Structure 1
Amino acid sequence: MRLRRTSLKVAAAVLAITAFATACGDDDKKSDAGADKSDKAAAALPATVDTTMGKVTVKDASRIVPLGGDIAQTVYALGLAPNVVGVDTSGAVLPESKGKPTFGNSRSLNSEGILAQRPTVAIGSASVGPRSAVDQLKAAGVPIVLVPDSSRPEDAITRITTIATALGVPDKGKALADRTAGEIAGAKAKGAQATTKPRVAFLYIRGQANLYQIGGKGLGPDSMISAAGGIDTGTELGVQMSAALTPEAMVAAKPDVILVFQKGLESVGGIDGVLKLPGVAQTPAGQNRKVVAMDDLELGGGGPTAGVALNKLVDLLHG
């Protein structure tokens, strides 16, 4: 009887040891898999990329600072949200940015606030500033990758590729760029097939600042309007970037549609507020209350949502 009990105890011990060893083996495999994944990511760095400030080499992407909402969108879409240690105010509106420190607008950066996050790399567009803040980051040894500003939806593709390469995830960048390119092409084809060709005036409005402008060539929305199958009336009038909104300009523009940023629409109290702006009520768009709004990041078209945003604009303009 004792022999049998002893045998049972030994058998139980053997089973326990075997189970423990198997579990440890599984953990080791998981650990090895994680290490392999980490090694592959690390193997892509250092990386040297062409930027608007020349060639820049990035050795470490563990603490990323994206300077701009579309830049933050791209970094997040590449799966690097855990590496982001702070954002500018335009990136702060994204869900992934919740709880992350902010340090001013991308064109009025707080370099001290950025450096306080101990970034290993900063990513932004060519228009970030002021230049003194950029110089201070460079002087502190922070690699700064500045990509060209987006002037048309397709620019998002090369921006994604450059950012992904700089951050050590070129394969993810290619997949994201390919997907974005497909979405842009699909939206452009949809716009080209539309039976209407609406005249569109993009108005940049900030009611609280009494700022009312009509957009034109080079501002950003002009290329989105064109790609969506519309006619940008500001560009047609010869406006470069933007000009003061006047009754004469609106009457000459004769827009069928008024396009605004969502925040701009809210700043004047909605459509009724837009209709009170100089000359708007006298236009076809004003008479038909055809005012459409999109988010700032959507109309910028410089990130991975460029194709989705363009498709939305097609529906708004031709619907």
Structure 2
Amino acid sequence: MRKNIAYVFVLLLTVACSSKGNREHVTATPEQDDPKIITAGGTITEIVHALGHGDAIVATDRTSTYPSQMQTLPSIGYRNQIQAEGILSLNPDWILVEEHYLNQDVVTQLQNSGKQVTVLPKPQSEEAAAALIKEIGGMLEEKERAEGLIEQLTQDLETLRGLKAENDTQPKVAFIMSRGPEMVFLAGKNTFASAMIALSGGQPVEVDFEGMKPLTPEALPALNPDYILMFESGFQASGGKEGLRAIQGITETNAWKKDQFVVMDGHYVSSFGPRLGQAAIELFEKTHP
């Protein structure tokens, strides 16, 4: 199987090289049983590992926290810190990149290097999650394993639908990202947070912006969420609930008064990968006691 993957990789690489007239020819042979892969994006990393190819990953980025052994590999950094030179110095055969994760000039440098570069979308829905698993499974010639992951995801989401049918309340949930009292952001529309909250039977707080926006002092009292969702890392960095007291307006919310903070691993709740259904079930249970 690994030789087949290597052979497919060689064909892809040959096509990529021949499509660029100014690109030097890169030699590769089917004897390369284990193409060295670098991943940039935690969801991609998790899927590659779940498909049985974690041992082919030679380096990855800081968002690739699952499984935990991925963090023992050399790190290429985080988002804007990542440079093409650092990736290329590790001499990978294949670079899998999450769309919009790296600066475009870095992606262009990688593409012009003669290495095989594949840019993949970041899913924010159950359909997109299944599609990405299927796409990476096809690239790695792991169709059956990919189908198994999708089947498990489908079963998890079916379980979630059953739970929501039994309890159809929709508590208001706000996601805030805290990097200290002076750096607090609120999630708006078209974010992983709004998608995950809705999938998990909650109601994202109503805002008039997209993406993440700095939290204003009057925002939380006006929105008055029933629950506040946070990453574990941000909650701990803020000093726990008492540390969050420094955020203006937070003590006026129902979430604060009822001690309804939901703290989850950042990659787990935001990745929309193979464990999407499990994460959504956990969030449902925490917001629908």
Fold-level match, TM-score > 0.5?
A: yes
Q: Does 1:298 align with 2:271?
A: no
Q: Which residue of 1 aligns with 2:49?
A: 76
Structure 2: runs of 5 or more not aligned: 13-18, 20-29
Matches for 1:1-319 after TM superposition, within 5 Å: 37-38=1-2, 41=5, 62-92=35-65, 94-207=67-180, 210-233=182-205, 236-319=206-289
SS in 2 for 1:144: strand
Query: Aligned residues: percent identity?
Result: 26
Distance in 2, Cα, partners of 1:189 & 1:46:
46
TM-score, reference length from structure 2: 0.85
Contact 2:42 2:271 in 1 (8 A): no
8 Å Cα contact 2:129/2:274 also seen in 1: yes
The residue matched to 1:285 in structure 2 has which SS?
helix
**Structure 1 segments (4+ residues) deviating >6 Å:** none
What secondary structure does 2:81 align onto? coil
Confirm or deny: 8 A CA contact 1:46 1:168 kept in the other structure. Answer: no
Contact conserved, 2:45 with 2:60, CA < 8 A, in 1?
Answer: yes
C-alpha separation in 2, matches of 1:78 and 1:264: 30
1:251-278 deviation per Cα after TM superposition (whole angstroms, max 9, x unaligned):
2212110111111101110012223312
Local SS of the residue matching 2:153: helix
In 2, the alpha carbon distance for the partners of 1:188 and 1:271 equals 31
Does the C-alpha gap of structure 1 residues 244 and 124 become closer, same or farther in structure 2, counting only changes over 3 Å? same
TM-score by length of 1: 0.78
| Aligned-partner Cα distance in 2 for 1:192–1:96 | 38
Distance 1:86 1:97 in 2: 8
Map Cα deviations across residues 27-73 of structure 1 (whole Å, 9 max, x no partner): xxxxxxxxxx445555765687xxxxxx9xxx976211111112111
Q: Which of the two has higher C-alpha Rg?
A: 1
- 1:209-260, Cα deviation, whole Å (9 max, x unpaired): x311111111211111001110000xx2223112221232112212110111
Segment drifting more, 165-174 vs 67-76:
165-174
Judged with a 3 Å threshold, the aligned counterparts in structure 2 of structure 1 residues 282 and 315 are, in CA distance, closer, same or farther, namely same
Q: CA RMSD in A?
A: 2.4
